[in-house]
Structure 1
Amino acid sequence: MKKLCVVLSLLIVFTLGSIAFTNIKLGGIAGKITPTDAASGVSLVAATDTLKAQISQGVFTFSNLKEGVYTVVVKANAPYKDAVIERVAVKDSATTDLGEIKLVQ
């Protein structure tokens, strides 16, 4: 009887634990840089964490992001200037589209 109670208790704990972690929904950030050859890199900053994304034909995407507020930093090639986009909000299961980011000389 005691073994049955322990086994059932463990089964309940593992079931509740797995359900709790499946409800985490992740979002993303996407955008397009113009001119397409003006940027050398894109970084995403949240508190002390930094992520980098590849740029393909001016398009970049950050995925699997937790809900929160981020800063996007675009590192430009000369003669263009770097761009910083602050307070980019990410909601559960949604990709925030920054649209077109035009780098200036």
Structure 2
Amino acid sequence: MKKLCVVLSLLIIFGLGAIAFTNNKIGGIIGKITPIDAASTVSLVAAKDTLSAQINQGVFTFTNLKEGVYTVVVKANAPYKDTIIEKVAVKDSATTDLGEIKLQQ
């Protein structure tokens, strides 16, 4: 009887844990930098946290982001200038497309 109670308790705990995490919806940010070789890194800043993304043929992607407002920092290669895009909103379960980001010389 004790084993049955322990097993049922564990099943209930795991079930509640699975339900608790289903409400955490995640989003993302995508964009394309032109010219494609103009940027060295793309970073995402939220409060004190910073993430970096790979740039592939000018395209970058941030995934698994919580809903909120972020700042995107593009570190440019010379002779181009760095670019900062502030107040990029991410809604739950949605990907925010920044479109084409043209770096200036």
1:72 maps to: 72
Aligned length: 105
1:88 maps to: 88
* CA distance in structure 2 between the aligned counterparts of 1:7 and 1:36, rounded to whole angstroms: 56
1:30 maps to: 30
Q: Alignment partner of 1:61: what SS?
A: strand
1:60 maps to: 60
Residue type matched to 1:18 in 2?
A
2:40 pairs with 1:40? yes
* CA distance in structure 2 between the aligned counterparts of 1:69 and 1:37, rounded to whole angstroms: 27
1:97 maps to: 97
User: Per-residue deviation at 1:4?
Assistant: 5.9
* CA distance in structure 2 between the aligned counterparts of 1:75 and 1:2, rounded to whole angstroms: 61
C-alpha RMSD over aligned residues: 1.6
* CA distance in structure 2 between the aligned counterparts of 1:10 and 1:18, rounded to whole angstroms: 12
Q: Which runs of 5+ in 1 are unaligned?
A: none
1:69-103 deviation digits (Å, cap 9, x = unpaired)? 10000000111100000010111111100001010
2:18 maps to: 18
TM-score, length of structure 1 as denominator length: 0.89
Q: Which runs of 5+ in 2 are unaligned?
A: none
TM-score, length of structure 2 as denominator length: 0.89
Label 1:34 to 1:10 Cα distance change in 2 as closer, same or farther (>3 A). same
1:6-41 deviation digits (Å, cap 9, x = unpaired)? 654543333112111122111100000011111011
